[in-house]
Every structure is written in structure tokens, then in C-alpha cells.
């Protein structure tokens, strides 16, 4: 059995952490784009679009992320397409993220006081003009804190990609544990690294939220 | 022809009827002061006129535009009928000048230079020339409400609806707003105000409307009605607020 | 290339799925009760207890909320035995879920406690009630009524997260699905069925919790 020093373990974990960050970033970005599209569909007042979006959200919020990962990993393979764990994880995380972000953002639009709608409509602005000039600018300000907060969930979600074989931080931990038989040390380090990634973002989100509340 | 013609308006929220057949004729240059207890339907009536509320039966015609029909051009209606709210409802992410110029720029499509001039003119009118680039959060309640008035005036409406515009203000700030409205009245602006400011109603109003349980209970000149209320309800109301 | 769902192949294994579902439900119920108890204790200690206890609670909460559940699970199941504490899969799963929900509910309940007007606490103390009596009879009841929806949501989130315990071979619904998949090779079908079962479970839990809320908080505020 190879002898792994503390620094061997740590450096291996840190290398794998890059993949955690990469997957988190691309899933968050694509999830955000899909989420925006869903937001417009959800508020479009076109019944079939609204119904589809509601069902979509219900499914991705009401089933375990792990199940979604499995479905994507095995499901896509059914169509004969070879999909790598990274791709499957990225796809699953994108849709999962989009379902949560669109609901968060819809809440932010609804948090804009009704008086703003009344004042802008009294000034003869159309729905699109109201959204563009009055409502969305305010909704975006409200949305920054919870969106940053959700990025933490995405990072934690990437840990599940290890189960379908993607080598990120958690998978590296599992493999190192199998190689070194030092689970306490390995998983402590894994947890610590996740903490270092997530805590600053959580702290940021909290600060942003309290700053927003003070301003009102 | 009256500028605003309200005929037998009935409105219900579900089983609760809040307007039970209201009729009023508003001529150009009139200053209508609408008073009454809370729940009498005053604000609802005002909000029916510019289409913020719908009504079940009756007719409202404002500046020749019929309100409430399926084909009502709300955009055109709201160009001619402006509104100022109790809670100001200024756009917090825009400066005072930007608040004033948003609708003219977007709806009437006036250019940037014309917009800036318009903002200067309107804010000067309400006495806030030095606050053009201030944000609402930097202004007092009275200043915010005056910006709201400037914002509504920037569309050059024929009628201005004021829904309890001083009720949310600290007492010492009420006068600065009332003075602006008084000036507008003197310049011949047609105004409909839901208000609790009885002295203002008596001094500036041309017509007083006392609403009770969703109907126009008494109507007449302010001085006349205050001096000699005909019905016990109005007597009681005047007594309770003196 | 069209693929036809072969759900029929799964039928002989319905019992396996049922057993897995029961495990998931029992695990969720037990961890929920324990987790909310931990949360109540944590929130109370944070707001009314000594400062050093409050700091420990903060560390606990932030540690759990900023690390993935699967890592917490692995730490408990694989890491603790190295310190001499060996646990079965079921116990480890239960412990991990309780600790996880405990941290989130501490935060949620704390928000509820802080939303109770200070005046109520002062009134209670003026009536000669001790800090803990005030907490128990005046504060917690109001706090819970306020945060009940948020807490219900979190419970369902933890239930969905429980799918991960299959990774330490705890025999939950996901484990059952994995088992059936290895026997039938109908991966897509079995995971689709499992996902739907989870979804129905989530919907049922939401309705149940809502009904429970109506019973618990029946009196007007």
C-alpha cells in the first residue's frame, strides 16, 4: 500500500476541487439562463406555458437530485448517446438549478410593492414598459441575495455527481479513503474544503440581505 | 359636456357592494373634494375613474373616453387622467427627475433634452428644483409627495385624481403639499381629491361630495354644506372631525 | 432511435420498492421529530442561553449548512468508526439526517423566536415567569406558528435528500431502485418510477403537514 502523507491527501483533494468549482459555475450559469426563460414563460399569462412551467418546477423541486442525476445518466444513454458523467451531471444540475432559481426570481418580482404597479400603470405605461423600467430593476435588486444564497446549494449539489462517477471533491475523498483507510482525516478535509467554498458565499448572501432590509 | 361624467356606478367586491349607484358631473376647472368615513367608497370611486378598479354597472366617460368597456383605451385615458397616491409610490431606483420623465419619455416618446427641460419645469412648479437628482429615500415625505405630483403633471393630464395624498404625512409636512395643490387649483386644473383636510376642502374646493355607505349622501358647495349640513350623517361626520 | 419503456419488467419487484419506501418514510418521520427537537433546543439556547453555548450552536449550524449532506453522512458512517464509534447503516442514516435537519431548523426556529415582539417577553417576565417559562409558554408557540411553513418545506427537502443514504447501503427507496436496476437492467424505468414515488411522497407530506398545521394552530393569532 502506498504511503500517503497529509500533504498528498490535501493536494489531491484540492486538485479535485477545481472540478467542483467548474461544474458549479457552468451549472449555475446555464441554470440561470434556463431559469430566466422559465420566468417569462411562467408570467406570460399563456395558459399552456404556465402549466408546463409549473409542472416542470413541481418535478424538479419534488424529486431527489440524486434521482434526476440517475435519470439523466441512464436515460440519455438509452438514445444511444454516450454521455460522460460530467455532461450528465451538468445537464441534471442545470435543470434542477433552473427550477429553483425561477421560483426565487418570481418571488422577487412579486415582492415589488403593488403600489409600483399602480403608479406606473396610472402613468399610462404598458405591461412591458412597466416590467422593463419599474418592476424588473427593483426585482433584480431584491434577487441578488437569494441568488447568491442558492449558489451554495449548487456547490453542495455537485457532491452528488460523485455517485455517477464524476471525479470532483467528494469522489476524490472516497477514492483517497479507499487508498489510505484514513476516513476521519479524509472526510474532515473534504468537509473543510466545502466549508471554505460555501461559507464566504453564505456570508455574502446574509450581508446583502441585511443591507437590503436596512435600505427600506 | 362635462369633463368627467359618472352615471350610476355600482361596484361590488364579491358579495360586498361598495358603490351603490354613484353619479357625478365634473366640469373643467372644478375642484371636487370627496369626504366621508373609511369604507364609504371614496377611494374606490376615484380608482374606477382611471381604470385601476373595474365596476359592474354604470357609465364613466372621462374626456370623451368611455371607461370600463372592453375596448377602453386605458393608455389614452391615463394620459388625460393622472393620479397621486397616499403612499406616494415613487420609483425608488430613479431620481426625482427620472421619476418625472419616465412616463413622458416612454409613453409620449419625447426626446432626452425635452425630458430634462420638462423635469426642471415640473419640479420647479412644486418647489423642488434643487432636488432633481435626489433619490426618494433622500427626501422627506412632503418632498416625495410633491415629486409624485410633479410626476403626474408631467403627462399634462386634464384631470388630476388625488387619493388622500396627505394622509400618510407627518402633520408639519401636510401644508407644503396642500399649497402646491392650491396653486394648481388657482391655475384652473381640474381636481378630484379624496381628503380629510376639511379646511382645505372648504377654502379651495368648488364642490363638496359627502359619501356614505357607497352613495353620494350630500353634495353642494363646501361653505354651504359645512355651514348647514342637511342630513344627520353629515352633521355627525363634521362633528366627529372637528 | 425510439425507446419503449419496459415497465412490466419491474412488476415482480414491487415488494422491494415498498420496503424501501417504508424505510424512507420511517427514517424521515423519526429524523423529523428528533431534528425539530434539536432545532428547538438549539434555537432556544442561541437566543436565551449563555453566550458560549450560543457560539457553539452557531458553529454547528454553519458547519452543517455549508457542507453537503453526503459528506456529513460519510463522515458519520466512515469517519467515526476510526474514533472507535461504529454504527450500523440505519443508525448512521438517522443520525446524519437528524443532525442535518437539526441545523436548518435551528436557524428557522431562531428566526421565529426573534420575530416575537420583545414586549411579550417583558410582559411574561413582569408576571414573575422565569425566562424558560416565558420561552415555553409565550415565545415558542408564536415562533412555531410563524415559521411552520418554512419548517415544513425544510422537512420535505430533507426527505428528498435522504435518497443519498443509499450510498452507505441503508435500505431506502433509492437503494431498492438500485437493487432492481442491477437485476433487471431497466435503469431508466426503475429510476423514473422511484422519482414519481418520491414526488407523490413529497406531495402527500406537504398535504399532511398543512393539515397538521391547521390542527396545531387552530386558535386565532
pLDDT tens by residue, C128-185: 888 788 888 888 888 998 899 999 999 999 999 999 999 999 999 999 999 998 888 8
- CB-CB: which of A59, A71, A184 is closest to C199? A59
Rounded to an integer, what distance in angstroms lies between the CA atom of residue A176 and that of residue A178?
5
Q: Which three cell numbers stand for residue C19?
A: 420496503
Count structural domains, chain C: 1
* Chain A interface mutation, best of C2, C4, C21, C66, highest count of A Cβ atoms under 10 Å: C66
What chain B residue is nearest to A122 in terms of C-alpha separation? B78
Q: Which three cell numbers stand for residue C179?
A: 437493487
CATH number for the domain running over B4-91+157-241: 3.40.50.300
Rounded to an integer, what distance in angstroms lies between the CA atom of residue A40 and that of residue A52?
12
The verdict on a CB contact (< 8 Å) between A121 and B78 is: yes
C107: pLDDT strictly greater than 50: yes
Q: Which CATH architecture has domain A6-215?
A: Orthogonal Bundle (1.10)
pTM as predicted: 0.81
**Cα Rg of chain A, angstroms:** 21
Would residue C221 count as lying in a domain?
Answer: no
- CB-CB: which of A119, A125, A215 is closest to B89? A119
For residue B102, list chain A residues with Cβ-Cβ distance below 8 A. 123, 125, 133-134
Cβ atoms of residues C38 and A166 within 8 Å: no
**Range of C140's domain?**
7-216
List the Cα angle A35/A40/A45 in 5-degree steps.
Answer: 140
Would residue C55 count as lying in a domain?
Answer: yes
The verdict on a CB contact (< 8 Å) between A115 and B78 is: no
Cβ atoms of residues C202 and C152 within 8 Å: no
Report the mean per-residue pLDDT for chain A.
91
How many beta carbons lie within 10 A of that of residue A128, not counting itself?
A: 8
Strand B190-194 relative to strand B207-212, pairing: unpaired
Q: Which three cell numbers stand for residue C46?
A: 442561541
What chain A residue is nearest to C72 in terms of C-alpha separation? A191
pLDDT reported for residue C122: 83
A121 in B contact zone (CB under 8 Å): yes
Query: pLDDT exceeding 70 applies to what percent of chain A?
Result: 97
- Residue B83, helix vs strand vs coil: strand
The residue-averaged pLDDT of B202-215 equals: 92
For residue A215, list chain B residues with Cβ-Cβ distance below 8 A. 137
HSE value, Cβ hemisphere, 13 Å, CA-based, for A43: 18
For residue A134, list chain B residues with Cβ-Cβ distance below 8 A. 91, 102
How close A35 gets to chain B, by Cα (Å)? 24
Would residue C183 count as lying in a domain?
Answer: yes
pLDDT reported for residue B206: 94
For B114-134, the pLDDT digits (tens) are 999 999 999 999 999 999 999
Would residue C1 count as lying in a domain?
Answer: no
The verdict on a CB contact (< 8 Å) between A123 and B74 is: no
Would residue C195 count as lying in a domain?
Answer: yes
Which residues fall within 8 angstroms of residue C163, CB to CB, at 6 or more apart? A64, A65, A66, A67, C172, C173, C174, C198
The verdict on a CB contact (< 8 Å) between B152 and A134 is: no
Give the burial class of B170: count Cβ atoms within 10 A of its Cβ; 0-12 exposed, 13-18 middle, 19 or more buried.
Answer: exposed
- Give the ranges where chain B is alpha helix by DSSP (H): 42-49, 74-80, 96-106, 112-125, 141-153, 171-186, 198-204, 222-227, 232-241
Residue C217: what are its φ and ψ, rounded to 5°? -110, 45
What is the DSSP secondary structure assignment for residue C77, as one 8-state letter?
I
Q: Where are the domains of chain B?
A: 4-91+157-241
- Residue B94, helix vs strand vs coil: coil
HSE value, Cβ hemisphere, 13 Å, CA-based, for C24: 31
ipTM: 0.90
CATH number for the domain harbouring residue C51: 1.10.3720.10
Would residue C166 count as lying in a domain?
Answer: yes
For B21-36, the pLDDT digits (tens) are 999 999 999 999 999 9
How close A152 gets to chain C, by Cα (Å)? 7
Angle between helices B96-106 and B141-153 (to 10 degrees): 20
The verdict on a CB contact (< 8 Å) between A122 and B106 is: no
Amino acid at each position: 500500500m502506498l504511503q500517503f502523507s497529509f500533504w498528498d491527501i490535501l493536494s489531491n483533494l484540492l486538485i479535485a476541487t477545481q472540478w467542483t468549482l467548474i461544474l458549479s459555475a457552468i451549472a449555475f450559469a446555464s441554470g440561470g439562463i434556463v431559469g430566466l426563460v422559465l420566468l417569462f414563460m411562467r408570467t406570460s399569462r399563456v395558459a399552456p406555458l404556465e402549466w408546463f412551467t409549473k409542472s416542470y418546477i413541481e418535478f424538479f423541486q419534488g424529486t431527489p437530485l440524486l434521482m434526476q442525476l440517475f435519470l439523466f445518466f441512464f436515460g440519455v444513454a438509452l438514445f444511444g448517446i454516450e454521455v460522460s458523467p460530467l455532461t450528465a451531471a451538468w445537464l441534471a444540475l442545470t435543470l434542477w438549478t433552473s427550477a429553483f432559481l425561477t421560483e426565487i426570481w418570481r418571488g422577487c418580482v412579486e415582492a415589488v410593492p403593488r403600489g409600483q404597479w399602480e403608479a406606473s400603470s396610472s402613468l399610462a405605461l404598458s405591461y412591458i414598459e412597466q416590467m422593463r423600467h419599474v418592476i424588473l430593476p427593483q426585482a433584480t435588486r431584491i434577487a441578488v441575495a437569494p441568488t447568491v444564497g442558492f449558489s451554495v446549494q449548487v456547490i453542495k449539489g455537485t457532491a452528488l455527481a460523485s455517485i455517477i462517477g464524476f471525479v470532483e471533491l467528494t469522489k476524490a475523498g472516497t477514492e483517497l479513503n479507499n487508498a489510505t483507510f484514513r476516513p476521519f482525516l479524509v472526510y474532515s478535509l473534504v468537509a473543510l474544503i466545502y466549508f471554505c467554498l460555501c461559507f464566504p458565499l453564505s456570508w455574502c448572501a446574509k450581508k446583502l440581505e441585511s443591507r437590503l432590509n436596512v435600505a427600506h | 359636456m362635462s369633463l368627467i361624467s359618472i352615471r350610476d356606478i355600482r361596484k361590488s367586491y364579491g358579495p360586498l357592494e361598495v358603490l351603490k349607484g354613484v353619479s357625478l358631473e365634473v366640469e373643467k376647472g372644478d375642484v371636487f373634494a370627496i369626504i366621508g368615513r373609511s369604507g364609504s367608497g371614496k377611494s374606490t370611486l376615484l380608482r374606477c375613474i382611471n381604470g385601476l378598479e373595474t365596476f359592474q354597472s354604470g357609465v364613466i366617460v372621462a374626456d370623451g373616453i368611455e371607461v370600463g368597456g372592453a375596448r377602453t383605451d386605458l393608455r389614452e385615458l391615463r394620459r388625460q387622467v393622472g393620479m397621486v397616491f397616499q403612499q406616494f409610490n415613487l420609483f425608488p431606483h430613479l431620481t426625482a427627475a427620472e421619476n418625472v420623465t419616465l412616463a413622458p419619455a416612454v409613453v409620449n416618446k419625447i426626446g432626452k433634452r425635452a425630458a430634462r427641460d420638462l423635469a426642471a419645469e415640473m419640479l420647479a412648479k412644486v418647489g423642488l428644483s434643487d432636488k432633481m437628482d435626489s433619490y426618494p429615500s433622500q427626501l422627506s415625505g412632503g418632498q416625495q409627495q410633491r415629486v409624485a405630483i410633479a410626476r403626474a403633471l408631467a403627462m399634462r393630464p386634464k384631470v388630476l385624481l388625488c387619493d388622500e395624498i396627505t394622509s400618510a404625512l407627518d402633520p408639519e409636512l401636510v401644508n407644503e403639499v396642500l399649497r402646491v395643490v392650491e396653486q394648481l387649483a388657482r391655475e384652473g386644473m381640474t381636481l378630484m381629491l379624496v381628503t380629510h383636510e376639511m379646511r382645505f376642502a372648504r377654502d379651495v374646493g368648488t364642490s363638496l361630495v359627502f359619501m356614505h355607505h357607497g352613495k353620494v349622501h350630500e353634495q353642494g358647495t363646501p361653505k354651504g354644506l359645512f355651514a348647514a349640513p342637511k342630513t344627520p350623517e353629515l352633521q355627525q361626520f363634521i362633528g366627529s372631525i372637528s | 432511435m425510439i425507446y419503449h419503456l419496459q415497465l412490466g419488467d419491474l412488476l415482480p419487484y414491487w415488494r422491494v420498492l415498498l420496503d424501501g419506501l417504508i424505510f424512507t418514510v420511517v427514517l424521515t418521520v423519526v429524523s423529523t421529530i428528533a431534528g425539530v427537537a434539536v432545532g428547538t433546543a438549539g434555537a432556544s439556547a442561541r437566543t436565551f442561553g449563555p453566550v458560549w453555548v450560543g457560539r457553539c450552536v452557531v458553529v454547528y449550524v454553519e458547519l452543517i449548512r455549508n457542507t453537503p449532506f453526503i459528506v456529513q453522512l460519510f463522515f458519520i458512517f466512515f469517519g467515526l468508526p476510526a474514533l472507535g464509534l461504529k454504527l450500523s447503516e440505519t443508525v448512521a442514516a438517522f443520525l446524519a439526517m437528524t443532525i442535518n435537519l437539526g441545523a436548518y431548523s435551528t436557524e428557522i426556529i431562531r428566526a421565529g423566536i426573534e420575530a416575537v415582539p420583545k414586549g411579550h417577553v417583558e410582559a411574561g417576565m413582569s408576571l414573575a415567569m422565569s425566562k424558560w417559562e416565558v420561552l415555553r409558554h409565550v415565545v415558542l408557540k408564536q415562533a412555531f406558528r410563524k415559521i411552520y411553513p418554512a419548517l415544513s418545506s425544510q422537512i420535505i427537502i430533507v426527505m428528498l435528500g435522504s435518497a443519498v443514504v443509499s450510498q452507505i447501503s441503508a435500505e431506502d427507496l433509492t437503494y431498492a431502485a438500485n437493487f432492481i436496476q442491477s437485476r433487471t437492467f431497466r435503469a431508466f424505468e426503475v429510476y423514473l418510477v422511484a422519482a414519481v414515488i418520491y414526488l407523490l411522497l413529497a406531495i402527500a407530506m406537504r398535504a399532511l403537514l398543512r393539515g397538521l398545521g391547521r390542527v396545531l394552530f387552530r386558535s386565532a393569532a
